[in-house]
A = this chain, B = another copy of it.
Amino acid sequence: MTGNTPDGPTAPSLDAGSRRSSPATLEDVARAAGVSLATASRSLNGSSRTVNAAYRSKVLDAAARLNYSPNLSAQAVARGSTMTVALVVADITDPYFSSIAAGVVAEADQGRLIVTMAATERDSERELEIVRTLRGQRPKVIILAGSRREGDPSEEALRRELEDYERAGGRVVLISRNELGFRTVQIDNASGAADLATALVGLGYRRFSVLTGNRELKTAADRLDGFTSGLERAGIRVEADRVVQSAFTRDGGYEGMRSLIAAGVQADEVVFAVNDVMAVGALSALRDAGLTPGADVAVAGFDDIPTVQDVWPTLTTVNVPLVEVGRAALRLALEETDASVSADSDASTAPGSPVATSVVVRDSTPRRA
């Protein structure tokens, strides 16, 4: 760049004049404080060794005066590890994921961690590619929030990639379902759905349809299975042609509901959509077909995303504490890395036990007379 610059006596950088700009470096601080680089570094971060109070405050003063802020990349290189948490979601605009993201971000900045986001757009090839490029970041943690599909050909490659990553010292955390053999914030999809089934039977419903977003999606499958087995306990079976597959999205719910309507719906029936965004789409499909959700056909969802309290009728669903799930994911990742805070982990976030879900009955499933 500027050549050799013996720097001391000549100080060539000053004559350049007014436009100097780059942020202060640790060396600037050390020089300004009249101490060595090592002492400056230790005063500002170095935990393992103490620094004489007088020196320390000289350094702190100088740092404040120069508005010094350590270059995180350089720290990462020197330390061999970053403060980055990588969050991989399917779709940021989906409230399910944005709630989780909010939790991760909230937890992260209590630990001075940086969170980076990437979106798979529900494409497992893209997910794999994202995880691959993530390696370059050398994140401390990778959190995978989306569910994977049954029999996905790239799953094995993903697992290997993640195993390599953990072998290099990283931590992987999965959300919802342990599909790959890593730490997981489990959401009890099956028993949540079973509880919902029980509650609906209790409300007097006897006919059931299911909007299952892509049955191959393991989360969707768990919810469907839980739901049907909950019904079985009451001696009720869901007819195969009343289980319709569609995309795991709002539009998927809309389309699925349309085909259900086309096949004929009954007034004593409840349609269970395996997630809330689909349920919300289903409500709209009903209305667009001239039906009144709740009265003509009951609807229930899963997740309890914020918006379901503002649709009409308000949606019966299974609450999942999504923001808390996001926080728990990060805590779980850091658990043994930090070697602290391990004692006070409350039951709801304990490594093994799944996050508790609870049925919330609202207006979309009125009690049958």
> For residue A137, which residues in chain B have a CB less than 8 angstroms away from its CB?
72-73, 114
In whole Å, how far is A97's beta carbon from the nearest beta carbon of chain B? 8
- State whether the Cβ of A119 lies closer than 8 Å to any Cβ in chain B: yes
A170-208 contacts to B, CB under 8 A, are none
Is the Cβ of A98 less than 8 Å from the Cβ of B105?
no
> For residue A73, which residues in chain B have a CB less than 8 angstroms away from its CB?
72-74, 76-77, 82, 137-138
In the bound assembly, the distance between CA atoms of A67 and B119 in angstroms comes to 23
Known contacts A67-B164, A74-B77, A117-B115; A95/B93 CB under 8 A: yes
In the bound assembly, the distance between CA atoms of A130 and B112 in angstroms comes to 11
In whole Å, how far is A262's beta carbon from the nearest beta carbon of chain B? 20
Closest chain B residue to A22 by CB distance? B168
Give this chain's copy count: 2
In the bound assembly, the distance between CA atoms of A284 and B314 in angstroms comes to 9
- State whether the Cβ of A71 lies closer than 8 Å to any Cβ in chain B: yes
Is the Cβ of A284 less than 8 Å from the Cβ of B306?
no
> For residue A84, which residues in chain B have a CB less than 8 angstroms away from its CB?
116
Is the Cβ of A168 less than 8 Å from the Cβ of B21?
yes
Known contacts A71-B138, A135-B23; A119/B98 CB under 8 A: no
- State whether the Cβ of A92 lies closer than 8 Å to any Cβ in chain B: yes
We find that the number of chain A residues with CB closer than 8 angstroms to chain B is 57
Is the Cβ of B307 less than 8 Å from the Cβ of A307?
yes
Closest chain B residue to A281 by CB distance? B310
Is the Cβ of A310 less than 8 Å from the Cβ of B280?
yes
In whole Å, how far is A210's beta carbon from the nearest beta carbon of chain B? 20
- State whether the Cβ of A143 lies closer than 8 Å to any Cβ in chain B: no
A62-82 contacts to B, CB under 8 A, are 67, 69-74, 76-77, 80, 82
Question: In the complex, which of the residues A23, A91, A92, A117 has the most CB atoms of chain B within 10 Å of its own CB atom?
Answer: A92
> For residue A306, which residues in chain B have a CB less than 8 angstroms away from its CB?
93, 250
In whole Å, how far is A4's beta carbon from the nearest beta carbon of chain B? 18
Is the Cβ of B114 less than 8 Å from the Cβ of A115?
no
A83-97 contacts to B, CB under 8 A, are 84, 91-93, 95
**What are the 6 tightest A-B residue pairs by CB atom distance, in nearest-first order?**
A73-B76, A312-B312, A92-B102, A98-B98, A69-B135, A73-B73
Chain A residues proximal to chain B, CB less than 8 Å: 21-23, 67, 69-74, 76-77, 80, 82, 84, 91-93, 95, 98-99, 101-102, 105-106, 109, 112, 114-119, 130, 132-133, 135-138, 164, 167-169, 250, 280-281, 283-284, 287, 306-307, 309-312, 323
